[in-house]
């Protein structure tokens, strides 16, 4: 029996194509939850009124989302500028020194395990099809999956930060000032656990480890900030 007619189709699921937006989304949401909740618990622990706690949360949400967007845009734009500069240099080298570039590409494939003859054939065929694309991918490590996208990163970070910062702000708006700290901490720990689970599932990682990691650092940040707020609030 021909196994090719009975074997099920092979559809491998890979997660590397999610790395760019997943990193920005998880970072933004985690930062939104932790930084906003920590600030609010610190303000609440200092003895501030419920209105002040809520106002601090709203300010943290808006400022944090804009800061994340600006930071991602600037940093990813710098990466994009570097990629364009390298591609321009490579394009010039391909025009002026095509044989040297072929040798360079051939040697890369030899280092990966191909024989020199086969590596030379592969390099030549790839350069005939798309010389700049072949060198960008195999020499510079630039591919469609890893290409810097500043606007996409900025929007993803801002939106995810705002989404993460919203639960503690809503909690502060709905509960009395006397119960603000436990309400904010409780809802944020639940959100962190959910974030750890979702991030792990989307990235193909272990959910328990991801959940534990997000809970540990989030709880530590809120505890330290609340302690500082209580200390300085009492001093003032």
Task: Note down pLDDT in tens along the chain; length 236 residues.
Answer: 444 555 555 454 444 444 555 666 777 888 999 999 999 999 999 888 999 999 999 999 999 999 999 998 898 888 888 888 888 988 898 999 999 999 989 999 999 999 999 999 999 999 999 888 888 888 887 776 556 678 888 888 899 999 999 999 999 999 988 898 999 999 999 999 998 888 787 767 788 998 999 999 999 999 999 888 888 776 66
Q: Are 179 and 46 in contact (CB under 8 A)?
A: no
CB environment 13-40: b (16+ within 10 A), e (fewer):
eeeeeeebbbebbbbbbbbbbbbbbbbb
> Could you tell me the pTM of the whole model?
0.71
Burial of 85 (0-12, 13-18, 19+ CB in 10 A): exposed
Q: Are 164 and 29 in contact (CB under 8 A)?
A: yes
Rounded distance, CA 144 to CA 55, Å? 42
144-153-27-84 Cα dihedral, nearest 10 degrees = 50
Q: Are 177 and 45 in contact (CB under 8 A)?
A: no
Residues 6+ apart with CB under 8 A from 214: 30, 192, 193, 195, 196, 199
Rounded distance, CA 182 to CA 200, Å? 27
């Amino acid at each position: 029996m021909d196994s090719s007619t009975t074997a099920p189709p092979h559809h491998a699921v890979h997660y590397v194509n999610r790395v760019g937006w997943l990193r920005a989304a998880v970072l933004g949401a985690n930062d939104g939850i932790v930084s906003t909740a920590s600030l609010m618990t610190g303000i609440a622990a200092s003895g501030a009124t419920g209105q002040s706690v809520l106002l601090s949360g709203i300010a943290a949400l808006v400022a944090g989302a804009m800061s994340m967007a600006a930071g991602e845009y600037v940093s990813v734009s710098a990466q994009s500028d570097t990629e364009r500069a390298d591609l321009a240099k490579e394009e010039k080298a391909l025009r002026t020194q095509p044989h040297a570039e072929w040798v360079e590409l051939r040697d890369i494939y030899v280092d990966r395990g191909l024989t020199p003859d086969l590596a030379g054939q592969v390099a030549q065929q790839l350069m005939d099809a798309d010389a700049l694309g072949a060198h960008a991918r195999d020499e510079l490590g630039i591919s469609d999956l890893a290409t810097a996208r500043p606007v996409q990163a900025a929007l993803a970070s801002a939106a995810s930060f705002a989404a993460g910062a919203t639960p503690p702000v809503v909690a502060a708006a709905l509960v009395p000032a006397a119960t603000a700290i436990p309400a904010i901490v409780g809802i944020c720990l639940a959100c962190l656990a959910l974030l750890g689970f979702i991030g792990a599932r989307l990235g193909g990682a272990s959910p328990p480890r991801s959940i534990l990691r997000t809970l540990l650092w989030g709880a530590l940040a809120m505890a330290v900030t609340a302690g500082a707020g209580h200390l300085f609030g009492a001093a003032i």
